[in-house]
Every structure is written in structure tokens, then in C-alpha cells.
């Protein structure tokens, strides 16, 4: 290994060249070019490998990747058990210590022909694990002979999956209250779900 005195390189940084790597330039007050495949800290931890910055070298709170899923069609259910809405996103964390921020926005409607109280619920899940639940309720407000309540639902969650396997985040919905009621996602624009990996 060819070493360069850190005092000659820069007062505040210490790096070492790896074997079979080259340095082009002259140490002077003029511009120089340093070409390397890998960069290690003096302590030995990798900073750059094959030209790729190691995510472990980034500070806590850094966004490592962002992925988005969309859904732009109507989904209905009259089930009292959770059913998929069709909105989902998949992400594979680069580290088991990473956090995942999930932001889902979806138009959600509860409807019933009658005058009973009705309630629908929506939840965010990771694979088969429920993370957060929200509900939408209406009390005896008739619209053209039916009870209707439509709202833009937003679910946010900070997850700690402790995994480097592919994860799927999705929304589900169900009828919580009201015989013969139905819940649905509205086609008033694309619903979105965003997953962001955060260094921890």
C-alpha cells in the first residue's frame, strides 16, 4: 500500500490509497487530480468502494433512497375484514438499522343507502403487520337517499423494520359499522404512497 502523509494532502483529512490505485497530479498550489477506486478512513472503514459512496458514512437522518407507488382506480368492498385498496410500494433497506418513513394519501369514501350510523376504517400495513389505523364515520346525513362521507385520508408512520429484505407497504380498508355499508377509494386523482429510507 502506498501511503500519503495526511499533512501533505489536507490538514483536516487523512486518507490512504489502496493497492493498484494511482495518483495523478503534483502537490502544489495548483489544481491536482486524485483518481482512486476505493477510499478508506485511516481507521479502516470504507468511505467509497468501486466509486460508490458507502451509506454507512452518511450522518444519521440522511435520506438513503425514496420510492413511490400510485393507484388511480376505484376499489370497493363491503367486507368487515381488511381488504387491499390497491395502493402499495416496495422498498429494500440497505441497512437493518435504517428507519422507513411512510407517507400515504388516499381518497376514502363510506356510503350506505339508509339512515344508520356508518363507519369505515383504513390501515397501513407492512407485509402482514398492521402499523397504523384510521377511521371515517358519518352520522345519519342523507345525500340523495344515501349516507355518504368522502375525505382525503393521510397516514404517516416512522417504521423500524430491522430488515434488509424487500418490504411492501400498502393500505387496506374495511366496513367497521353499518349493515350493508360499503367503503371505497375514489377516482378523483392518483393516490400515492411514499417510502423513504433514513440512516439511523
pLDDT at 166 (0 to 100):
97
Phi-psi region of 11 (alpha: psi -120 to 50; beta: other; left: phi over 0): alpha
Q: What is the pLDDT of residues 162-200, one digit of tens each?
A: 999 999 999 999 988 877 778 888 767 789 999 999 998
- Name the pLDDT band for 94 (thresholds 50, 70, 90): very high
- Name the pLDDT band for 156 (thresholds 50, 70, 90): very high
3-state secondary structure 113-139: CCCCCEEEEEEEEECCEEEEEEEEEEC
Give the number of other CB atoms < 10 A from CB of residue 118.
28
Helix, strand and coil percent figures for the chain, each rounded to 5 = 5, 55, 40
Q: What is the pLDDT of residues 19-41, one digit of tens each?
A: 555 555 444 555 667 676 666 65
CA-derived radius of gyration, the chain: 26
Domains of the chain: 6-53 (no CATH), 63-198 (2.60.120.760)
Is the pLDDT assigned to residue 117 strictly greater than 90? no
Amino acid at each position: 500500500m502506498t501511503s500519503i502523509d495526511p499533512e501533505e494532502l489536507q490538514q483536516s483529512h487523512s486518507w490512504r490509497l489502496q493497492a493498484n490505485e494511482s495518483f495523478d497530479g503534483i502537490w502544489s498550489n495548483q489544481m491536482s487530480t486524485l483518481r482512486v477506486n476505493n477510499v478508506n478512513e485511516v481507521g479502516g472503514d470504507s468511505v467509497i468502494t468501486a466509486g460508490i459512496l458507502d451509506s454507512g458514512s452518511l450522518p444519521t437522518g440522511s435520506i438513503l433512497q425514496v420510492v413511490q407507488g400510485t393507484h388511480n382506480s376505484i376499489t370497493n368492498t363491503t367486507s368487515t375484514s381488511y381488504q387491499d385498496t390497491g395502493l402499495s410500494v416496495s422498498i429494500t433497506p440497505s441497512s437493518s438499522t435504517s428507519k422507513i418513513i411512510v407517507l400515504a394519501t388516499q381518497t376514502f369514501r363510506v356510503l350506505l343507502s339508509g339512515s344508520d350510523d356508518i363507519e369505515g376504517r383504513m390501515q397501513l400495513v407492512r407485509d402482514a403487520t398492521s402499523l397504523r389505523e384510521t377511521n371515517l364515520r358519518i352520522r345519519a346525513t342523507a345525500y340523495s337517499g344515501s349516507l355518504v362521507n368522502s375525505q382525503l385520508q393521510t397516514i404517516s408512520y416512522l417504521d423500524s423494520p430491522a430488515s434488509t429484505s424487500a418490504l411492501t407497504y400498502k393500505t387496506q380498508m374495511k366496513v367497521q359499522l353499518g349493515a350493508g355499508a360499503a367503503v371505497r377509494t375514489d377516482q378523483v386523482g392518483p393516490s400515492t404512497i411514499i417510502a423513504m429510507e433514513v440512516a439511523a
